[in-house]
Amino acid sequence: MKRLIYIVLAFFYLASANNESYKELSTKDISLLVNIVVSSSPEILDFQSDYKTKLSLKLTPAEVAEVKRRIQIYNKVSKKKIKKYLENGKLYIPLIKQIFDQYNLPDDLIFLPIIESHFNIKAKSPAGAGGLWQFMPQTGRMYGLEINKWIDERFDVEKSTIAAALYLRDLYLIFDDWFLALASYNIGEGNIIRRINKYGGTNFWDINSYLPRETRNYVPNFIATVSVVKNILKEEDFNYSTLNFDIVKINKPVSLELVSVLLKLPYETLIKLNPHLLKEKTPPKEGIYNIYVPRGYGKTLAFVLEEMQTEKYKAIGEYKVQKGDTLIKIAKKFNTTVSYLKKINNLDKGWIIANTYIKVPTYIEAFPLYSDEVIDLTEDILYTEKGIIYRVKKGDTLAKIAKKFGVSIKSLKRWNKIKNYILPNQKLVIYKKVFNKNLSQKFVKRNISYLKKKVKKRKPKYRYIFYKVKKGDTLLKIAKRFKVSVSQIKKWNKLSSNIIRIGDKITIIKRVVN
């Protein structure tokens, strides 16, 4: 009967979608350095769109040849794959373009998910990165994404794209170079800063030989990918001007089951559009969360939910045990029974310890059809602006917890005033910086000026070559190969004799000729 009422309510308001028109993407939007395919000039190639951040790159003839070779390979071998990934992205590209326009980012960066995730919103890497933009959890939280057992906003198209725009903008502000920014997006800005400061360099091409292979290929592969995208856009009439879904901002807990009933939409369709909702419902707490629905249904859903009453649902919260507390006292305080407290806390005996936490009954308010079960509001790990709060589990030790969070046992003891041991359900504070917009209700800006000052750009005076000794190699042979002396090799590598072994890494230092 309830379902019938909700369906009737939904049809009292028939909304026609008022979709904003997006600037259509054309080949002119691809302003990246595709012209290097036909160029062999070492001069700086500058590109400037009407209102976008300037892109610049300095290439030697050898670098031009290398990028040209990659573009030719991509056009020949990878074009079908890139076309497929571009098809995957058709659902998201209009929204990404709109957000990148707001943050004044180059249109070329719209296609970064082709490299990162193949435009697969559900993509996960073995290292733990996730979503279109392949954020690691820590970086995602730093840029305002909420990640817990209920929701993972790395898989929310709008919020993750805003986070990516903020991150890319910060990286550009640090380096004043889009290609260093892209390399940093792949390997982390700290790694790029260290390479520049150690070896010298003013751009990506100065330090690329000192980077891991994946990062070394990242920027040239991106340039090649954009070139192929340009050719595809020339050949086919892609329509990126229309957003094919609506985003509804929800401030009360709601389930996709209710949305399916109200809008008479297949449940599977809503699950596919909302991969960020790990339990097919928004979290059972305050906050503004996105629900994605097919184009034209957004206003209907917003109107119906505005008129609909919430209901109370049984839930489980937590309580910090005070000195002198007993299960009987706590049961009376929360209008429950001792047996229920024992059940939800897996307590065999009736004793509890002060300053630990136990689960207690409570309730939440949510829209109908939210849950058929008691809702567990407790979290084993909470991320706050001051640090991480961790609930001790049975079998945990200080050593295990310290290793898990990358801190020392000594620090754990000092932060939590621990003298001897820890107990299950005790909460520990780990003082590692975690910025989360959803907890503070404001975005915490990173200290970009501090990071920018750490970058010591300079023209490299020397080029470092790292050579791996092979069978038959001698110091004399290596010296002749690189046109240096044996004594120089021994000095650079702090060798006391001429003995080298297969697999040894030898550093060769060559002066850079400008």
Active site residues: 116
Find the DSSP H helices in 176-264. 178-187, 189-199, 204-207, 213-235, 256-263
Distance of CA 172 to the CA centre of its chain: 17
Contact between 34 and 227 (Cβ < 8 Å): yes
Report the length, in residues, of the chain: 514
Cα 153 from Cα 275, distance rounded (Å): 9
3-state secondary structure 242-258: CCCEEEEEECCCCEHHH
3-class DSSP assignment, residue 508 = strand
3-class secondary structure for 427-473? EEEECCCCCCHHHHCCCCCCCHHHHHHHCCCECCCEEEEEEECCCCC
Spatial distance between the Cα atoms of 155 and 89, rounded to a whole number of angstroms: 14
For 232, counting Cβ atoms within 10 Å of its Cβ (0-12 exposed, 13-18 middle, 19+ buried), the class is middle
H or E stretch covering 165:
helix 157-175
